[in-house]
Structure 1
């Protein structure tokens, strides 16, 4: 009987010690998990961009304000939520961001700094239209510039994606989508070269037109996609070169690409009525039904996004019939 009692006591002691060990392990695991979560939330990186270097950019920021629709396009494609954005002139395919769910932070050129202060964002992303206000943004939150440099479109595009991938831990997803884009571009360049066609890009704005060539705002058509410019001497410019319809007729491109500014800024499309006039009826582009109206949402408002760049590729590809 004494032996049985001794054996039972030892067994109970071992069970007690084991239970204490498990409890310590669980507490240790919980603490480690908590420490890891806390570490991830507090992790920051430095981001070098066109306007300088921004330190203390949080990884996976909770409250993000975006002033660049190309970046908004990319974040939307990646399933990353934003807190605020300018709600005027949002591209139609991103119209969900017009909802009251998102804070309206003014316009692209006139940010609402009071609203920004109220939001107290973790990160602000800007581009060209807000660049002169950079210092004011930095007083409120870490601010980075992610506009696309059109003189080196794809390199700049990839650099911006690399920054977004590191901030939001989306490197793998970006790599997958970018691979598809690069394959599409390679195929388009072959098609453009084989077509032997030249082209001219114009922006229709009310009753005026501006021409764009290589290294310009829309020069990706020539520089990256490989479509030959009918006039390689157009001065590179963000706003384009003011030209006449006589200029278009004189150069007589095989393809005429038209971007209608009025359709996205004024809400009314007038480009077709402006462009397809009596003089233009004498051009090859008109006679061969090769006046191509590009979607201004992608080309004018949100260029440089993961979705918009693919759509731009697809539009030019379709024009080379």
Structure 2
């Protein structure tokens, strides 16, 4: 009888022990599942957004990325600038005219050459088997062929809506590569600088003119144009509100500059980034007897804008900050 009672006690203890172990295992499994779910939604920062559908402008097909791209080809230097700032690895770029502040991408041992800006190396790109290719206006003619190789996303900045377009591209980069917080913080920092700029320009009566200089010839740009950010975003008043809005600007003569007589003349020196050896005679050509009669020249207000960030790589986080910083500095 005593033995039977002892066995009953032992059996009851075993049941309690097994029940406790089962509860602990379930709790451990639940914790593991919860931790995995947390990592998927916040750790990597990108799995929750996929599949990701990216709207495209007219003439380009909508793109859907099923997962975070690993092998990335970039033609647009502005978008490359943003990816570089966000710490995103890229596999290949166009190495023809890489801006000096992005010179690490010229290293062919580390990055493959995707060809010239207007003449992509389709064979080399196909051999990489990329997950995505980012392009802008300079690759428009190559879009159809590139889209046969991989998902091709247009990330050119819309000059008619510059800041919103640039911000959308920046936010897109953050979303694709799981760096949304960093992208948002960068945009907030830039907005603060632009507000500082507006505080200066809002109280100015001086009017400005923006010209692109190339081989001694001039093209003028107004609001809504390629360099219209000077007026549309920074707030500089225009000397000529009837300028033709086009990608290549309105061809003008030096006499036109004198006629409009800007108080501030902004100059983008194209020759400095496309001429062999970077040789440029723009400064000597601009500061001639005609232009020297303008208010801008006489008040030492001819401002030469860095062509790498204005002509080659506009629309990137680093380049847009460099633009604002330089103009603010020039106004002091």
For residues 257-298 of structure 1, give each alpha carbon's deviation from its aligned partner in whole angstroms, at most 9, with x where no partner exists: 111111111122322121112322222212211111111111
Judged with a 3 Å threshold, the aligned counterparts in structure 2 of structure 1 residues 114 and 32 are, in CA distance, closer, same or farther, namely: farther
Matched, 1:242 2:274: no
Deviation at residue 180 of structure 1 after TM alignment? 1.7
Deviation at residue 92 of structure 1 after TM alignment? 0.8
Matched, 1:201 2:210: yes
Matched, 1:66 2:68: no
Unmatched segments (≥5 aa) in structure 1: none
Q: Secondary structure at the residue paired with 2:103?
A: helix
The TM-score normalised by the length of structure 1 is 0.89
Matches within 5 A, 1:175-186: 175-186=184-195
Partners of 1:41 and 1:105 in 2: CA distance: 31
Q: How many residues align?
A: 321
Q: Secondary structure at the residue paired with 1:97?
A: helix
Matched, 1:320 2:331: yes
Judged with a 3 Å threshold, the aligned counterparts in structure 2 of structure 1 residues 139 and 186 are, in CA distance, closer, same or farther, namely: same
Matches within 5 A, 1:1-321: 29=32, 33=36, 40=47, 43-50=50-57, 51-99=59-107, 100-266=109-275, 267-321=278-332
For residues 213-272 of structure 1, give each alpha carbon's deviation from its aligned partner in whole angstroms, at most 9, with x where no partner exists: 111110110111110111111111111122111111121111111111111111223221
Judged with a 3 Å threshold, the aligned counterparts in structure 2 of structure 1 residues 320 and 42 are, in CA distance, closer, same or farther, namely: closer
Partners of 1:16 and 1:113 in 2: CA distance: 65
Partners of 1:101 and 1:18 in 2: CA distance: 56
Deviation at residue 56 of structure 1 after TM alignment? 2.9
Deviation at residue 45 of structure 1 after TM alignment? 1.2
Partners of 2:67 and 2:232 in 1: CA distance: 34
CA RMSD of aligned residues (A): 2.8
Judged with a 3 Å threshold, the aligned counterparts in structure 2 of structure 1 residues 31 and 180 are, in CA distance, closer, same or farther, namely: closer
Partners of 1:209 and 1:71 in 2: CA distance: 28
Partners of 1:30 and 1:224 in 2: CA distance: 48
Q: Secondary structure at the residue paired with 1:195?
A: coil
Partners of 1:61 and 1:43 in 2: CA distance: 11
Unmatched segments (≥5 aa) in structure 2: none
Contact 2:63-2:153 at 8 Å conserved across structures? no
Contact 1:263-1:296 at 8 Å conserved across structures? yes
Contact 2:119-2:142 at 8 Å conserved across structures? no
Q: Judge which range, 155-164 or 37-46, deviates more.
A: 37-46
